[in-house]
């Protein structure tokens, strides 16, 4: 994918994220008001989660804009990792929200207040429709972007939480047992923690320069070493600059009579096709004559 196409996709993502943000903010304001009227922690918990959704989307819009800025000065890769930083911030925010909801849910389970099941059910059903609409919008964005995937996870988790809240409201109406409300809040906590763990794991892997799952260093190293004319490959590094942007550097020794330029081009093509790595830095040099002949003889003997 060319840089121009990446920028076009980024602009499209920003428009979709901004539209989703407007829809969520409007519904969140209504949910907070009705949650207070209904005295429902489940609704307020959902509103709190929607606040993180709105914050996630706002941060995603900003990060997408920053990632599109050109490289300059000390920032030789540009600001592409702003999207990963946003995803990590969203993961931390989810952990904080989960802790607050858990604390309130335990208190309300011990001493449950009266809950208006009718309002809880009606608002939760509205939340299901709104989140389904937002998910339909976000499905049109690039899901391989960790930034977009973080926003998508927020909304998908909120949709599942609204389903649990609607069920809790119906059970309260049928049984009159108000503890279904904090139980639904505990479901929200579990879903929120799962989403947070996913975002923090993926963003942490990128920040720690981990190789992408599509390009295990052992497989990449073997593919380079087994290429025709290659004697040895070392100082191999495979990492992820940002989601969807893997990079590689390596020192490759080839046979004394081999064409370094031709082999480098072949290796770049192989890495692009087999592992999806388009940004490569390969230092290709001739091996000393003795070692080259020794390696070639050992390859011949093993076949």
Between CA 64 and CA 178 the distance in angstroms is 43
User: Pick from 158, 176, 207: which residue ends a domain?
Assistant: 207
Please report, for the domain that includes residue 137, its CATH number: 1.20.1510.10
Q: Is residue 285 situated within a structural domain? A: yes
Helix (H) or strand (E) holding 5: helix 3-38
pLDDT of residue 10: 61
Residue 116 in domain: yes
pLDDT at residue 300, as a whole number? 41
Residues 35 and 89 in one domain: yes
One domain for residues 192 and 269:
no
127 and 106 together in one domain:
yes
Return the structure tokens found at 128. 């299901």
Residue 68 covered by a domain: yes
Does residue 212 form part of some domain?
no
CATH number for the domain harbouring residue 228: 3.30.300.30
225: exposed, middle or buried (Cβ count in 10 Å: 0-12, 13-18, 19+)? middle
Q: Is the dihedral of CA 124, 129, 134, 136 positive or negative?
A: positive
Quick: pLDDT tens for 248-301. 999 999 999 899 999 999 999 999 999 999 899 999 999 886 554 455 444 543
Same domain, 250 and 141: no
Residue 168 and residue 33 share a domain: yes
In 3D, which of 251, 225, 242 has the Cα closest to residue 85?
Answer: 242
- CA nearest neighbour of 16 among 127, 123, 145: 145
Q: Nearest-CA neighbor of 247 among 223, 297, 212?
A: 212
Query: Under 8 Å CB-to-CB from 172, ≥6 apart: which residues?
Result: 115, 117, 120, 178, 180, 181
Q: How would DSSP label each residue in 36-52?
A: HHHT-HHHHHHHHHHHH
Query: 192 and 232 share a domain?
Result: no
pLDDT score for 18: 84
With respect to residue 162, please indicate whether it lies within any of the assigned structural domains.
yes
Residue with tokens 């593919």: 223
3-class DSSP assignment, residue 178: coil
Those residues with Cβ within 8 angstroms of residue 171's Cβ, 6 or more apart along the chain or in another chain? 117, 177, 180
By the 10 Å C-beta count (0-12 exposed, 13-18 middle, 19+ buried), 110 is classed as exposed
SS3 call for 235: strand
Which residue range is the domain that position 259 belongs to? 217-302
Task: Answer yes or no: do 164 and 25 share one domain.
Answer: yes
Q: Return the closest-CA partner of residue 287 out of 298, 271, 272.
A: 298
- d(C-alpha 139, C-alpha 148), whole Å: 9
Do 112 and 26 lie in one domain? The reply is yes
Query: In the chain, which stretches have pLDDT less than 50?
Result: 1-5, 292-293, 296-298, 300-303
Per-residue model confidence as pLDDT tens digits over 43-69: 676 677 677 678 778 887 888 777 777
- Dihedrals phi, psi of 231, to nearest 5 degrees: -95, -40
Last residue of a domain, one of 189, 207, 225: 207
pLDDT at 219: 95
d(CA 113, CA 121): 17
Which of the listed residues 166, 185, 207 is the one where a domain comes to its end? 207
Q: Are residues 32 and 55 part of one domain?
A: yes
Same structural domain for residues 62 and 124? yes
Give the model's pLDDT for residue 4.
43
Shared domain for 175 and 235, answered yes or no, is no
Beta-carbon count within 10 A of 123 CB: 27
Q: How many domains does the chain have?
A: 2
Whether 191 is covered by a domain: the verdict is yes
Same structural domain for residues 55 and 136?
yes
Distance CA 50, CA 198 (A): 18
Range list of β-strands (E), the chain: 230-242, 245-254, 279-286
């Amino acid at each position: 994918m060319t840089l121009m196409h990446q920028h076009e996709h980024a602009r499209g993502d920003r428009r979709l994220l901004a539209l989703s943000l407007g829809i969520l903010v409007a519904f969140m304001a209504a949910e907070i008001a009705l949650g207070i009227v209904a005295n429902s922690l489940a609704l307020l918990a959902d509103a709190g989660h929607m606040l993180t959704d709105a914050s996630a989307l706002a941060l995603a819009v900003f990060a997408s804009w920053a990632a599109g800025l050109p490289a300059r000065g000390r920032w030789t890769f540009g600001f592409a990792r702003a999207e990963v930083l946003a995803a990590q911030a969203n993961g931390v925010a989810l952990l904080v929200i989960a802790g607050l909801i858990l604390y309130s849910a335990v208190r309300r389970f011990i001493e449950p207040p009266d809950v208006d099941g009718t309002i809880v059910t009606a608002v939760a059903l509205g939340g299901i429709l709104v989140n389904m609409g937002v998910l339909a919008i976000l499905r049109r964005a690039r899901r391989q972007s960790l930034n977009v995937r973080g926003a998508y996870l927020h909304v998908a988790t909120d949709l599942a939480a609204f389903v649990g809240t609607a069920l809790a409201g119906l059970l309260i109406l049928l049984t009159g047992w108000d503890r279904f409300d904090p139980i639904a809040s505990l479901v929200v906590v579990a879903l929120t923690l799962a989403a947070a763990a996913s975002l923090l794991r993926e963003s942490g892997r990128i920040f720690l320069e981990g190789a992408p799952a599509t390009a295990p260093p052992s497989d990449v190293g073997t593919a380079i070493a087994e290429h025709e004319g290659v004697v040895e490959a070392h100082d191999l590094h495979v990492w992820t600059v940002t989601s969807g942007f893997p990079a590689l550097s390596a020192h490759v020794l080839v046979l004394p009579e081999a064409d370094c330029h031709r082999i480098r081009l072949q290796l770049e093509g192989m890495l692009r096709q087999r592992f999806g790595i388009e940004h490569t830095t390969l230092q290709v040099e001739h091996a000393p004559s003795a070692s080259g002949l020794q390696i070639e003889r050992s390859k011949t003997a093993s076949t």
